[in-house]
A = this chain, B = another copy of it.
Amino acid sequence: MTNISGILSDRRTIRKYSSEPVDDTLINELITMGCRASTTGNMQLYSIIINREDGKKKELAPLHFNQKMITEAPVVLTFCADFNRFNKWCRLRNADPGYDNFLSFVTAAIDALILAQTICIAAEAKGLGICYLGTTTYNAHKIIEVLKLPKGVVPITTVTLGWPAEKPEQVDRIPFDAVIHKEIYHNYSNESIAEFYKAKENRADSQQFVNENNKLSLAQVFTDVRYKKADNVHFSKILLNVLKEQGFMEQ
């Protein structure tokens, strides 16, 4: 299980975990490896909240729309953009931190995500299974309350982690050529879009989604059912307000 090409190429998201515990030593080892990843100016602008106990996991579950991984996974990691620790250090050393702005939020969020993905790959290399929850940015305001995140800290993503109790099929991906551009961005023609999404549209499970939802196309399942404009607009307002409340929107 140590060949990295195999690990990265054969991976799949795991949503069902066995009851086998994941011990602290292993989690600590993964996080220590994660902290060797690149970070802006070596500032390490992140924190990880580790949830293992039922109490907090039950509080978090509805904030992640009751996706069962939150309560079923032995370990839940919430990755946060964190300028609080760095700001405290600055103030303790008579330095005036100027990190209460949007660029600083983005910088810390980048640090947190690079850390998260490094830990996920380290975990998968150990045979663990992981699942990212995109719901973190939807309900950041409520997660802040439950996890007692102070000003300067914003949750960016959540990963559930445990020993796999399933081996689902690998999901499809659009072709390699669809995601790369040489030297400059070459915008897509209708023909190239149709070509790049053809295989995805023709899958049996895609057709099933379309039929089950009474839609005319797979794209409509995304726009009308899974990732709706009204939800995006609603959660955008909340997330921008979270950045303000957490001290990242000063001018």
Contacts and interface: CB of A to CB of B under 8 A. Distances in A.
Interface in A177-220: 178-185, 187-188, 190, 193-194, 196-197, 216-220
Most buried by B among A13, A50, A84, A227: A227
Contacts of A9: 32-33, 36
Contacts of A226: 41
Given A47-B180, A117-B113, A219 B95 contact: yes
Interface string A46-82: 1111111101100000000000000000000000100
A183 B53 contact: yes
Interface in A110-156: 110, 113-114, 116-118, 120-122, 125, 130-132, 134, 137-138, 146-150, 153, 156
Contacts of A5: 2, 29, 33, 122, 125
From A113, A172, A216, A237, residue with most partner B Cβ within 10 Å: A113
Contact of A36 (B173, B180, B240): B173
A219 to B, nearest CB: 4
A239 B187 contact: no
Contacts of A104: 232, 236
A155 to B, nearest CB: 10
Interface of A: 2-5, 7-9, 11, 13, 28-29, 31-38, 40-44, 46-53, 55-56, 80, 84-86, 88-90, 92-99, 101-104, 106-107, 109-110, 113-114, 116-118, 120-122, 125, 130-132, 134, 137-138, 146-150, 153, 156-157, 170-174, 176, 178-185, 187-188, 190, 193-194, 196-197, 216-220, 222-224, 226-230, 232-233, 235-237, 239-240, 250-251
